[in-house]
Amino acid sequence: MASTSDIRKGLCIRYNNDIYKIIEFLHVKPGKGPAFVRTKLKSVSSGKVLDNTFSAGHKIEDVRVETRSYQFLYAEGDTYHFMNTDDYNQITLQESSLDAPQLLKEGEVVTILFNTEDSMPLSVDMPASVVLEVTYTEPGVKGNTATNATKPAKVETGAEVNVPLFINEGDKIKIDTEKGNYMERVKE
């Protein structure tokens, strides 16, 4: 058993007869009244996200997890196929267990969390950022830079990202996988 002081991003807990992964949390200590922890939980079975508030000192049942490196092979509808980088065993996961499936490129290495009790895959942790090539974007209009102007660009995985006007087709860009935002242009 853990308490609310052990809450951190990525922690898997058992709550309401399901396993949830904490995707956001905030410790709140108001001037009047007891402290509490506001959390955003994502169900690893259904992908449903819910907000919950735990009072300070509340006991939570954490789930022991094991992490393994897997390489993304290909997607087939809502099913994603991964291969273990150590023993080459393959597993398939549903799209709901991925945080940012639209940014997943074939060959990308991700970390998959497994429940140590029954070896069931719980969720997929993407790398902090990915480098993808821009396949389509409108040319930037000269003189349209009074503010931080952006334009939509389609990347090689099919995702659409807002990029600055100086980005052209064929450029490689670094994308933050947590928010899906453009970070920088990558020179190779």
Residue range 18-55, pLDDT digits in tens: 888 898 999 999 988 899 999 999 888 777 889 999 99
Please state, in angstroms and rounded to a whole number, the distance separating the CA atoms of residues 105 and 127. 12
Q: What local confidence, expressed as pLDDT, does residue 72 receive?
A: 93
Residue range 107-140, pLDDT digits in tens: 999 998 888 888 888 888 888 899 999 999 888 7
Q: What local confidence, expressed as pLDDT, does residue 6 receive?
A: 87
Please state, in angstroms and rounded to a whole number, the distance separating the CA atoms of residues 64 and 115. 6
**Share above pLDDT 90 across residues of the chain, in percent, rounded to a whole number:** 34
Q: What local confidence, expressed as pLDDT, does residue 46 receive?
A: 76
Please state, in angstroms and rounded to a whole number, the distance separating the CA atoms of residues 58 and 53. 10
pTM of the model: 0.76
pLDDT, mean over the chain: 87
* Other Cβ atoms closer than 10 A to 161: 22
pLDDT grade for 144, boundaries at 50, 70 and 90:
low
Q: What local confidence, expressed as pLDDT, does residue 143 receive?
A: 64
Question: Strand order of the sheet with strand 79-84?
Answer: 90-94, 79-84, 65-76, 109-115, 121-125
Residue range 45-91, pLDDT digits in tens: 777 889 999 998 889 998 888 889 999 999 998 899 999 989 989 99
